[in-house]
Structure 1
Amino acid sequence: MRNRTYHRFAEVNGRQTFYREAGDPGMPTLLLLHGLPTSSQMYRELIPMLSDRFHVIAPDYIGFGHSDAPLRQDFDYTFDNLAAHVAGLVDALGLESYILYMQDYGGPIGFRLFTQRPERVKGFIIQNANAYIEGVGDAPKSVLLPLWENRTPDTEKPARHFVSLEGTKFHWLVGAKDSEAINPDNWILDQALLDRPGTQDYQVDLLENYKTNIALYPEWQAAFRQHRPKTLIMWGKNDPFFIPPGARAYLGDLPDARLVWLDAGHFVLDENAPEVAAEIKSFFSYPRNN
């Protein structure tokens, strides 16, 4: 069935990695990379809207969603390692080329894939995923800068609040045009996974490791200029985490990119999935699979 979404697992580097799959594998592949504090569930409504034109793959990173979630003493929670497992899934599924849809954490994971194997990446869809220092808002700075400077129980407290129920709910609701249009299942389901024993410990590890992404911004920007991937930017303009100057900054390195502003916050799909799907289909205009 064309619009059916399948829920599958693949073994990657000895770990079970969950992914959602829909559409004809003969069509161009969209690789949907999720953000914090969620998982591939953030794409559950968008996937069937795209599956008539694309082969859609949406993985859960190790430690997220339905993928294996080893404790921090059993797994090195870094963005390098998360990206390595996504690359391993790409290889396990035999994906020779794909368009990257990146939101939040999906940016640093996707841009690592891009700089490592740029020939495979046929385009970017960037949705509130940052690659420029001017795009980092005061909200994440207040949490992350003290943690990066000196990790102590006191500097960890704001990071742990980031992945508490209050913080998770805030991620989903902040900047929304109509908060009643945001499904509360989002933060309730996400938090149930975040509250598993040991999970918030490694989530703080990842928030500390986010500084490695900032260090890679110049390398990513140089790769944008060198390879000029076809780029669609869909940005929730009310996002306090990744602010509008970060969206506009891409145009300096990718002048042919299309930038679409959405009246939304950090997450946009609950209110704007049909518009996002239409923009993707129009911008990456492949023939319909009949």
Structure 2
Amino acid sequence: MNHIADWRSLFPFQSREIMLGGHRCHYVDEGEGEPLLLVHGNPTWSFYWRNIIGPLREKYRLLAVDLIGLGLSEKPSPKEYSYRLERRAADLNEFIDKLNLEGITLVAHDWGGGVGMGAAVAAPERFARFVLMNTAAFLAPKCPLAIRVCRIPGFGKVAVQGLNMFVRAALKKTVAKPERMTPAVRAGLAAPYDSWRNRTGVLRFVLDIPLGPKHPTYAVLQNIERGLAQFRDRPVCLIWGMQDWCFTPWFLDRFIEIFP
């Protein structure tokens, strides 16, 4: 069975490209109407949103962006691109500006929430409502052991970039109904991460998780957290998989505190 052909049939959307900060960004732009901006996490990409884009494009304009270093976007070296949350949020704001998006509904998952809410805090007038799923936009009291192991100098690089353990684990450890992870879906989710170089962004995302105040992203995430309360007057929908070992129900409770 040709799984490459299979996954591409699951993602029948036109690929588009835009330059953000000098780097090529891949995205999907389907439908017309109010814009829904879909921001994935790590190690997923716009393919993650395939079952949302199809049905909703009859009523909305769906824009699914591949963050730089992930998906079908350019995968620059760490010398060419910082791979920091601050830069990713700035990229997203540049995307919004270039496409002149207004009245945005942000739909974000995993670390896409930090990126998306970072963009929203920087340009609140652009955003009308939020749909947040198993994500964070604030500092957490602890980091899962599996994530910390991937940050061990030397070992993390070999494990994540060389052996592709992060992507493989994500495809096995984050699914409540394994029967839905068909070979075609598995192939589609993993397709952009087929070499050491193409997994640079996956590792850098893990390394950008701030575990203490000396990390460059710590203060950035702190600032995003401080800015969340301004959105209490806008609709916020929280959707949570309660068995998530990374973005546990603690994160849901924290969002409920912020958006009572």
Query: Which band: TM-score by shorter chain?
Result: 0.7 to 0.9
The answer to whether the Cα contact below 8 Å between 1:36 and 1:104 also exists between their aligned partners in 2 is yes
Equivalent in 9, 12, 16 of residue 17 of structure 2: 9
Matches within 5 A, 1:47-86: 47-86=53-92
The answer to whether the Cα contact below 8 Å between 1:9 and 1:18 also exists between their aligned partners in 2 is yes
Residue equivalent to 1:271 = none
CA RMSD of aligned residues (A): 2.6
Residue equivalent to 2:173 = 174
Residue 129 in 1 paired to residue 131 in 2?
Answer: no
Q: Which moved more, 1:134-143 or 1:5-14?
A: 134-143
Give unpaired runs (5+ residues) of structure 1: 256-290
Distance 1:142 1:121, change over 3 A: same
Residues 250-289 of structure 1 show CA distances to partners (whole Å, capped at 9, x for unaligned) of: 111101xxxxxxxxxxxxxxxxxxxxxxxxxxxxxxxxxx
The answer to whether the Cα contact below 8 Å between 1:29 and 1:57 also exists between their aligned partners in 2 is yes
Q: Which moved more, 1:14-23 or 1:55-64?
A: 14-23
**In 2, Cα distance between equivalents of 1:189 and 1:78:** 26
Give unpaired runs (5+ residues) of structure 2: 1-11, 211-215
The answer to whether the Cα contact below 8 Å between 1:101 and 1:126 also exists between their aligned partners in 2 is yes
**In 2, Cα distance between equivalents of 1:206 and 1:54:** 30
Distance 1:179 1:214, change over 3 A: farther
AA at the equivalent of 1:225 = A
Equivalent in 122, 129, 149 of residue 116 of structure 1: 122
AA at the equivalent of 1:152 = P
**In 2, Cα distance between equivalents of 1:182 and 1:46:** 17
SS in 2 for 1:221: helix
Residue equivalent to 1:225 = 229
Residues 47-97 of structure 1 show CA distances to partners (whole Å, capped at 9, x for unaligned) of: 112112211100111111111222223222222222222222212211123
The answer to whether the Cα contact below 8 Å between 1:102 and 1:110 also exists between their aligned partners in 2 is yes
**In 2, Cα distance between equivalents of 1:105 and 1:135:** 16
TM-score by length of 2: 0.82
TM-score by length of 1: 0.74
Residue 238 in 1 paired to residue 243 in 2?
Answer: yes
AA at the equivalent of 2:98 = A
**In 1, Cα distance between equivalents of 2:31 and 2:35:** 9
Residue 89 in 1 paired to residue 95 in 2?
Answer: yes
